[in-house]
Amino acid sequence: MAPLCSLKDVISLSLLLPWNLVVIYLISRKGYELVSRIKGRVAGIYLARKLIHILSGGLTVLVLPLAFDGPFLPSISAIGLALVTYLPHKRGRLMTWFQMKDNISEVYFALMWGLLILVTWYIDIRLAILPISFMAFGDGITGIVRVVLYSHRNKAWIGNLAMGLVCVPLGYAYLGTIGALAGAMASLIEHFEFIDDNLSIPLTSLSILLITKSLMPSI
């Protein structure tokens, strides 16, 4: 029976986990402090969330295929971070520079990150990298553009345009036309709030990719 993780996995996690904690507890906090002084507390929180999206979830998923031999450690670590970010909501002791009462988007982000890696690793890791990248880089850029233009959270279409300019080329680079289509749909679905966009973005784009993969296994 193959081991759940290799020595390479352990070493990679020992390097990446501290980086993710630095992003969450230091870099995002500095971003919050800077923006909140200029544009207010809500804008600061929104910016801090997007920094975590890009610098933590985004950069980590890009190096995943090179850094790990299997999905177990990165997936468990992400699900662990989901729990770490959920507990302050449960206990009423929020990490106020990026968490908001009655909004657990950051929990969904970490949870989806971990589950997508676990589910798709042995099918095609690109099926995880792209949806997570759309959620991390695409939605991250969307938020930054909106923070620059506005001082409150909103769903202005200019943010979706910015997201499309990131997600469509990224999708094409990984999976050609189908990847670009998934990126376009992810950029569109982000505008609507029938469910949290950290759920709708990865689930929509993964569905498109899985359906295409089943119809055209050679992609």
3-state DSSP assignment of residue 103: strand
Residue 45: CB atoms within 10 Å: 24
- Residue 4 has what pLDDT? 79
What is the C-alpha separation between 99 and 39, in angstroms, rounded? 17
> Per residue in 128-137, is it b (16+ CB within 10 Å) or e — as a string?
bbbbbbbbbb
**Contact between 24 and 80 (Cβ < 8 Å):** no
Q: Can you point out the beta strands (E) in 13-96?
A: none
pLDDT at 2: 53
How many CA atoms within 13 Å lie on the side-chain side of 113? 33
Give the model's pLDDT for residue 188.
95
- Distance between CA atoms of residues 78 and 115, nearest Å: 8
At residue 217, the pLDDT reads 66
Amino acid letter for position 81:
L
Per-residue confidence of the chain (219 residues) as pLDDT tens digits? 456 789 999 999 999 999 999 999 999 999 999 999 999 999 999 999 999 999 999 999 999 999 999 999 999 999 999 999 999 999 999 999 999 998 999 999 999 999 999 999 998 999 999 999 999 999 999 989 998 888 777 888 999 999 999 999 999 999 999 999 999 999 999 999 889 999 999 999 999 999 987 777 666
Query: Which residue ranges make up each domain of the chain?
Result: 8-214
Burial per residue of 67-78, b for 16 or more beta-carbon CB atoms within 10 angstroms, e otherwise: bbebbbbbbbbb
